[in-house]
Chain A
């Protein structure tokens, strides 16, 4: 089957999308991703690694000759992946990162002989390069493209592998002895971050349970197992407890281009309470969670909201008469505006929310920002 496809592709570069075949490893991963039981247990980093690995497989094993064809291929396979779990932003982020890598390598390979490389990515250059790349023709054949893309992706994978460790290593700079930290729900990253800090310092953690999934219970039990003094409170007590807290540390599902958060429900309440008492809110975010879309674009594409079934945590499923009579809303995510966030800790260090546009222009290509993936 693969051979017949390749012949088709090479003979007609303006191939219809339908003639491409979904890559095997992409299809396999998509199947798993769409599986309900897998989705409830996966972690974001795992999804990221597997997305990159399967897209790498597309680049290595599928037949393509020009960068344009490859971009189309990635689009199509990416669509298939997004189909599997449309609410997962990490998948779309990774697809866009890979597209960026392809574009970057293509231009670099094309111009490597003529243009002197300027590695510093100044604001001016970003602005001008954007205009320059707008009308680039990606259909020229560059023989070295495949190897350079693969090299770049390998580098990227190493970056992904180390990013979590990079964030955890910064724990000691941000946590001090005898502080009281508040967090919400469960985040593996926050857990590891606090555990790392606890190696050298003693401090206290207050965990808000996080209705409806009550993942805060796991968080509290894990932290107390690591000998951190932990207090579990209900979400309703967040404001009451806030006055004693020194820092709020939370994880997030995604960061918008503006620096706003798509975070677990209750995060907005938490951030507002912290703001009222002028307590710093620190958000731990690996850069793969950085999403080049604005909240509005997100909402237009319908991926921001994720409203779950009322029986998944809010009402007792046995209470049919209640469900029959009243409307019950169970959103999973809150939008936290950037002005409520004091500091992001990413794998590249601590940044204010206003700095994130820099990362966006560095990590993504403008043509891909609002791709409807």
Chain B
């Protein structure tokens, strides 16, 4: 079976990648029980919804990436393969060691199974949209912009201020015409202050700001996304990826776009228990049609309405005894029994559950195999698989972990019950905030917690950038020094091992982000690093940490070479690293920084560089790194004291001015030659 020929009618094969785990603990307590993609919502694992959508969208091949609870996953996969195998080619990939989203993507890249643009889904994604149509939008974007890496799919729910969805929204800044994403940040309730960089408005003709966008966890990706993950090992999550790509758009030369879902299509990722409950409600209320009970996927097909007006359903094999009532937004799973005069409201009951007589269940999730005794009253709780709850128990705001047996008549409130290692029942109190986040839908909690919930998560993007900007200069200089060391290290190694310049540029970029260095400092430091390199030529074993400091300390020792030798090796190095120089120094500002670096270097290492300074400038001029205008401008300038990171050590300070004058004297012949050359060329132009 050739995989290429699988696409029928000669269409190219549309591939999807589903990363089953979310690598977070948003669904606390359930995280250790189900892999995220197999989390049942309305008694159907998320994966089944996703596969159904992929099938109806005409996706031909899907890779499922699992990294946790492999054995459990394998047992679940078989029926799914049987159900969907005729429609779509399913290839599971198992990796037990993978701990982050980024690792997963890098693993996929090494496997090399993705051959084209692909649909990336997270295990938490739920949508009924036609992904093929969306993919076509991405392909159209790619025709306009070859470097479009990704199109995010966002759902616009309108104003979410007073709805339960308010926790899931994002603020999106985008270019109005191209739909290019400029920034996307979480927009939690209670936080209404947002900082907007002026740059957005300066560089874009018109900017759209959406305050109620919900990320669907569906991303339409170009193949380059995988290689971007591979090149940047510090991309841990997809949020990292998006944020860093957006900040350094020019550097990666790649862009992210967004696309709204059609108004009639529905999507809601389960990134929290709140979203989980909401999704349950929306599925029961058929917002996800055709993903709805009695329609699709197959495990939901068997359900029937018990009451259309209440949107309540039961599996056709479920048993309702006399007087049992299923209230609003509820569903009873396969082969479950509901005893006499029991009432179920806004609850989901899984398969093979036995609910006794006169039981009241309100706003409760009961997973499969649970047994609830007569006359229990359960409110706002979650009961996981195979629990047994004896008669007359009262539970409010409780989480019952799998296989717990409650034999005594007891009332629990705000408690987590689980079986500890010694097979004893352990109790843990739930905090108010947790109750609000996981169990309750009551508004009273909302008022209490909305204002200061998750301060850590919410502001992290904006905060980090602002603290960076306002940190004292001392730290910045330290960062600069560390950065310089890393650049020297990279270049030294690159030169010794004869590496290509492309990877070195990427390496320098990585260091740049690690220390948050502005672009002009980069060109300054790169030039400086190159000027230092000849001194390190003979040192085979360099210390790993902070080479620059090492260089400063051992200065006298290392500098045992003559000026001629120095310039000889400098010339070689410059020729070798020409692509790097062109990359960083080509723009006019970069050239100024480069000259500044040379000037600063002269101050501290007069005897080596002064005699050959004009040769050096000539070389850079000939290599098109420096333009004559910039050199002339620089020459005209007086000595500047506010140069970035100048080595203002005391012994040099007094003579600096002297050196500056000497320096300019030294290169006068070159400048004269330049000016003459210019006159010549302008003469030629005029004649």
Binding site for B on A (CB under 8 A): 22, 27-28, 30-31, 34-37, 80, 83, 86-87, 300, 302, 305-312, 316-321, 323-324, 327-331
Those of B76-111 within 8 Å (CB) of chain A:
86-87
For B291, give the chain A residue with the smallest CB separation: A309
> For B304, what are the chain A residues with a Cβ–Cβ distance below 8 Å?
300, 302
Which 7 pairs of residues, A with B, have the shortest CB-CB distance?
A: A318-B158, A320-B157, A309-B289, A317-B263, A324-B163, A36-B130, A302-B294
A320's partner among B55, B163, B294 (CB-CB below 8 A) is B163
Q: A31-B58, A311-B266 are in contact. List 12 more A-B contacts (CB 8 A).
A: A36-B57, A86-B301, A87-B295, A302-B303, A302-B304, A302-B316, A305-B294, A305-B308, A309-B266, A309-B287, A321-B158, A321-B162
> For B194, what are the chain A residues with a Cβ–Cβ distance below 8 Å?
none
> For B282, what are the chain A residues with a Cβ–Cβ distance below 8 Å?
323
Given A37-B130, A328-B285, check contact A309 B264 (CB 8 Å): yes
CB distance from A344 to the nearest CB of B (A): 28
Q: Judging by beta carbons under 8 Å apart, are A323 and B311 in contact?
A: no
Those of B283-298 within 8 Å (CB) of chain A:
285-290, 292, 294-296, 298
CB distance from A143 to the nearest CB of B (A): 33
Bound-complex Cα distance A22 to B86 (A): 9
Given A27-B86, A302-B294, check contact A330 B286 (CB 8 Å): yes
Given A302-B294, A318-B157, A320-B160, check contact A312 B308 (CB 8 Å): no
Q: Judging by beta carbons under 8 Å apart, are A309 and B263 in contact?
A: no
> For B56, what are the chain A residues with a Cβ–Cβ distance below 8 Å?
34-36
CB distance from A205 to the nearest CB of B (A): 29
Is B68 on the interface with A (CB-CB < 8 A)?
no
Which of A80, A302, A319 has the most chain B CB atoms closer than 10 A to its own CB?
A302
Q: Judging by beta carbons under 8 Å apart, are B57 and A319 in contact?
A: no
For B289, give the chain A residue with the smallest CB separation: A309
Q: Judging by beta carbons under 8 Å apart, are A309 and B288 in contact?
A: yes
Is B164 on the interface with A (CB-CB < 8 A)?
yes
Q: Judging by beta carbons under 8 Å apart, are A34 and B55 in contact?
A: yes
For B58, give the chain A residue with the smallest CB separation: A35
Bound-complex Cα distance A181 to B294 (A): 37
Q: Judging by beta carbons under 8 Å apart, are B264 and A327 in contact?
A: no
> For B305, what are the chain A residues with a Cβ–Cβ distance below 8 Å?
305, 307
Those of B268-320 within 8 Å (CB) of chain A:
282, 285-290, 292, 294-296, 298, 301-305, 308-311, 316
Q: Judging by beta carbons under 8 Å apart, are B8 and A28 in contact?
A: yes
CB distance from A213 to the nearest CB of B (A): 11
Which of A310, A316, A324 has the most chain B CB atoms closer than 10 A to its own CB?
A324
CB distance from B189 to the nearest CB of A (A): 14
Q: Judging by beta carbons under 8 Å apart, are B160 and A327 in contact?
A: no
Question: 28 pairs across A/B with beta carbons < 8 Å?
Answer: A22-B86, A27-B86, A28-B8, A31-B8, A34-B55, A83-B298, A86-B295, A86-B296, A87-B295, A300-B316, A302-B294, A302-B302, A302-B304, A307-B305, A309-B288, A309-B292, A310-B285, A311-B287, A316-B263, A317-B158, A318-B159, A318-B263, A319-B158, A321-B159, A321-B160, A323-B287, A324-B164, A331-B308
CB distance from A50 to the nearest CB of B (A): 15
Given A22-B86, A329-B309, check contact A309 B156 (CB 8 Å): no
B311's partner among A36, A316, A318, A327 (CB-CB below 8 A) is A327
> For B160, what are the chain A residues with a Cβ–Cβ distance below 8 Å?
320-321
CB distance from A303 to the nearest CB of B (A): 9
> For A22, what are the chain B residues with a Cβ–Cβ distance below 8 Å?
86
CB distance from A152 to the nearest CB of B (A): 29
For B83, give the chain A residue with the smallest CB separation: A83
Q: Judging by beta carbons under 8 Å apart, are A311 and B57 in contact?
A: no
CB distance from B218 to the nearest CB of A (A): 15
Bound-complex Cα distance A271 to B32 (A): 57
Q: Judging by beta carbons under 8 Å apart, are B86 and A324 in contact?
A: no
Mask, B149-169, CB within 8 Å of A = 1, is 000000011111011110000
Bound-complex Cα distance A299 to B603 (A): 91
Is B239 on the interface with A (CB-CB < 8 A)?
no
Bound-complex Cα distance A27 to B55 (A): 13
Mask, B49-66, CB within 8 Å of A = 1, is 000000111100000000
CB distance from B62 to the nearest CB of A (A): 15
CB distance from A158 to the nearest CB of B (A): 28
> For B159, what are the chain A residues with a Cβ–Cβ distance below 8 Å?
318, 320-321
Q: Judging by beta carbons under 8 Å apart, are B158 and A316 in contact?
A: yes
Bound-complex Cα distance A190 to B576 (A): 79
Is B132 on the interface with A (CB-CB < 8 A)?
yes
> For B156, what are the chain A residues with a Cβ–Cβ distance below 8 Å?
317-318
Q: Judging by beta carbons under 8 Å apart, are A37 and B308 in contact?
A: no
Q: Judging by beta carbons under 8 Å apart, are A327 and B158 in contact?
A: no
Is B328 on the interface with A (CB-CB < 8 A)?
yes
For B162, give the chain A residue with the smallest CB separation: A321
Bound-complex Cα distance A310 to B24 (A): 33
CB distance from B56 to the nearest CB of A (A): 5
Q: Judging by beta carbons under 8 Å apart, are A310 and B86 in contact?
A: no
CB distance from B80 to the nearest CB of A (A): 14
Bound-complex Cα distance A86 to B282 (A): 22
B163's partner among A34, A305, A310, A321 (CB-CB below 8 A) is A321
Q: Judging by beta carbons under 8 Å apart, are A310 and B294 in contact?
A: no
Bound-complex Cα distance A270 to B390 (A): 54
Is B133 on the interface with A (CB-CB < 8 A)?
yes
> For A86, what are the chain B residues with a Cβ–Cβ distance below 8 Å?
295-296, 301
Q: Judging by beta carbons under 8 Å apart, are B310 and A327 in contact?
A: yes
Q: Judging by beta carbons under 8 Å apart, are A310 and B287 in contact?
A: yes
> For B55, what are the chain A residues with a Cβ–Cβ distance below 8 Å?
34
Bound-complex Cα distance A134 to B367 (A): 45
CB distance from B250 to the nearest CB of A (A): 35
Bound-complex Cα distance A187 to B368 (A): 45
For A332, give the chain B residue with the smallest CB separation: B289
A317's partner among B128, B264, B308 (CB-CB below 8 A) is B264
Bound-complex Cα distance A34 to B295 (A): 12
> For A305, what are the chain B residues with a Cβ–Cβ distance below 8 Å?
294, 305, 308
CB distance from A304 to the nearest CB of B (A): 10
CB distance from B14 to the nearest CB of A (A): 12
> For B158, what are the chain A residues with a Cβ–Cβ distance below 8 Å?
316-321
Q: Judging by beta carbons under 8 Å apart, are A308 and B286 in contact?
A: yes
> For B157, what are the chain A residues with a Cβ–Cβ distance below 8 Å?
317-318, 320
Given A34-B55, A318-B157, A318-B263, check contact A307 B163 (CB 8 Å): no
Q: Judging by beta carbons under 8 Å apart, are A310 and B87 in contact?
A: no
> For A311, what are the chain B residues with a Cβ–Cβ distance below 8 Å?
263-264, 266, 287
CB distance from B658 to the nearest CB of A (A): 72
> For A87, what are the chain B residues with a Cβ–Cβ distance below 8 Å?
295
> For B310, what are the chain A residues with a Cβ–Cβ distance below 8 Å?
327
Bound-complex Cα distance A36 to B56 (A): 6
For A83, give the chain B residue with the smallest CB separation: B298
Given A35-B58, A305-B294, A327-B328, check contact A312 B289 (CB 8 Å): yes
Bound-complex Cα distance A299 to B264 (A): 27
